[in-house]
Chain A
Amino acid sequence: MSDVQWPWQYNFPPFFTLQPNEETRKKQLEAWRDLVLEYHKKTKTCIIDIQEADNTALFFNPAISRKLSPEGINAVLEVLYKNGNAEPIDKTKIRWYIYWHTLAEWADIFYQHAQENGLINSVCTLYELVNTPDKEFTGLSEEIVIKILERLQKDEKAELILTEDTSGVKFF
């Protein structure tokens, strides 16, 4: 948590009010997007629950007692979604996946990792993959990893092996 580099905006009260001026709002939401991605990257979390989000340090700054409103959070998520950095988990749009790398970027990262570590044409479990030390994807949630590998599978660069007990992947 302490690793999060809070930008100057985080201590600027208007940051927590959705700005009516379009140009200003654009800049504000850009800042929010950067902050949300930075925050999730540092905390290695991938999910925002709108109903709980306003109590997290991300959207609530107790030092200046300002909180981003639910409308504001939705607006931020909307921007993230447009850039491929977020995706609603279901149709209720209450829980969202946050991708600090877009899925395409992640796919590249995994494939590169496989190439560099001679994993091509061999099978490894997702558990192994996620627990590789000192990688950006270390500790990444399994749901997200499956989403990334599904993408690779589409490009025919990998094949997911999903059974009831184990889940593994084979890179090509």
Chain B
Amino acid sequence: MDRFEYCSFELSPDESPVLKHSNVRLYDGENKSQFQRGELILTSHRLFWQKDITLCLALSYIQNAVEEAKSMFNLTAGRKIILYLSKAVPGKNLGPSATSAYDYVKLSFREGIQNEFLDALKSTVDAKIWTVQNKSAQQTKLREIKTRTGIVGIERNIVEKQKETSSNINNAFKDLNQLMSMAKEMVEISKNISNKIINRQGEITEDDSIEITVYLLVLSIEDPVTRTSCKNEDDYYQALGNELIAALIEPLTSAGGTMLLTDAYCRINRARGLELLSPEDLLNSCLALDKLPDSPIYLKTYSSGVKVLQLKSCEDASFVEKTYEIVSQNVFVTVEQFSRLASVSLVIAKHRLLLAETHGKLCRDQSIEGLRFYENKFLLEEN
């Protein structure tokens, strides 16, 4: 009997009634109980007994249900069904008895038993519909706790919020840790790829992805020079200058010997990744390049005020020759075309063309169609 609970006859949303049977008496084991002539209602989840009060038994308790064999001595007695039950779950709502010596109850049907009742009970128990709803039941329980008021309720709320926050933080940092461990792997992978590419340099095709990776390879500076690692400003700029040379000499060479200071700024900061340089620091370190012995690059200021880094090995004359070569292969070039043909930026392209013009290798055609540069036939035809 201790598995029964007091309750009101209210079905939960997922619960559905199955069968009713009137005039039923409950037995606690072999003992008659005070609950007689009540109505028995079977639902998908519970078994209700209802008269003045309502009792219910969760179907999850029922392990087996059998019909009691008729006693030879008591033929008048009604037929009975024995329900074998599992142990009472602690924390259930109050019931008619706190303890019971028996692990079974009997349902006594005074007016005889409907044949289908036992079958229906058995199949409902076997269906175990309540297990499906278990989760939502738990959630409603939690919600019930939350709505509790009073100091204990408030404290409980606070504790729960704290728990939630700490678990959130833990989750967040778990991600971060994952990222860190991933980062290590990524570095490994990139190193592997870079080694592979270096080994196979001869075979590199025009494949863009490889090209991009090659660009990426140019980018890493392992131990960037910082202000704090140097004794004074001069040392800092000279150290930066050395770093510039190391990082930029390759892109400078491949770019044809000239790079805009703005491009250099982007490249060096991308290479450093963290510990970014300010434009002033870059400019000062470029100025410090002159003080370095045998610096292969130097800072040059065009007449337009544009500053570029240039390889010392590339003299004006060689630029003029290259420019002339490109122009002579075309009838004429515009600055845009030249920038594409020589793969240099517009500013540098214009400067190269003007340089070749002042060297008398090119002449200009200024019209509504724009500025174009031609071979300088005025001087060339002469000879």
Contact = CB atoms under 8 A, between A and B. Distances in A.
Interface in B339-383: 357-358, 360, 363-367, 372, 374, 376-379, 381-382
A21 B361 CA distance: 10
A24 B381 CA distance: 12
Contacts of B365: 13-14, 16-17, 66
Which 8 A-B pairs give the minimum distances between C-beta atoms?
A27-B378, A13-B365, A14-B363, A14-B365, A17-B366, A14-B374, A24-B378, A28-B378
Given A8-B381, A13-B332, A24 B363 contact: yes
Contacts of B360: 21, 23-24
Interface in A1-45: 8-9, 12-14, 16-17, 19-21, 23-24, 27-28, 31
Contacts of B381: 8
Main secondary structure of the interface of A (DSSP, over half): helix
Interface of B: 332, 357-358, 360, 363-367, 372, 374, 376-379, 381-382
Nearest to B359: A21
A97 to B, nearest CB: 27
A27 B374 CA distance: 15
Interface in A31-73: 31, 65-66
Nearest to A30: B378
Nearest to A67: B367
Contact of B372 (A13, A23, A28, A31): A13
Contacts of A24: 357, 360, 363, 376, 378-379
Nearest to B374: A14
B367 A13 contact: yes
Contacts, number: 52
Given A12-B374, A14-B378, A17-B365, 20 more contacts: A9-B378, A12-B377, A13-B367, A14-B364, A14-B365, A14-B372, A17-B363, A17-B364, A17-B366, A17-B367, A19-B363, A19-B364, A21-B357, A21-B360, A23-B379, A24-B378, A24-B379, A27-B382, A28-B363, A66-B367
A36 B357 CA distance: 26
Interface of A: 8-9, 12-14, 16-17, 19-21, 23-24, 27-28, 31, 65-66
Nearest to A26: B378
Contacts of A19: 363-364, 378
Contact of B374 (A8, A13, A23): A13
A54 to B, nearest CB: 13
A159 B55 CA distance: 153
Nearest to A27: B378
Contacts of B358: 21
Contact of A21 (B332, B363, B382): B363
Given A13-B365, A14-B363, A66-B367, A20 B357 contact: yes
Contacts of A28: 363, 378
Nearest to A65: B367
Contacts of A9: 377-378
A13 B357 CA distance: 15
Contacts of B364: 14, 17, 19-20
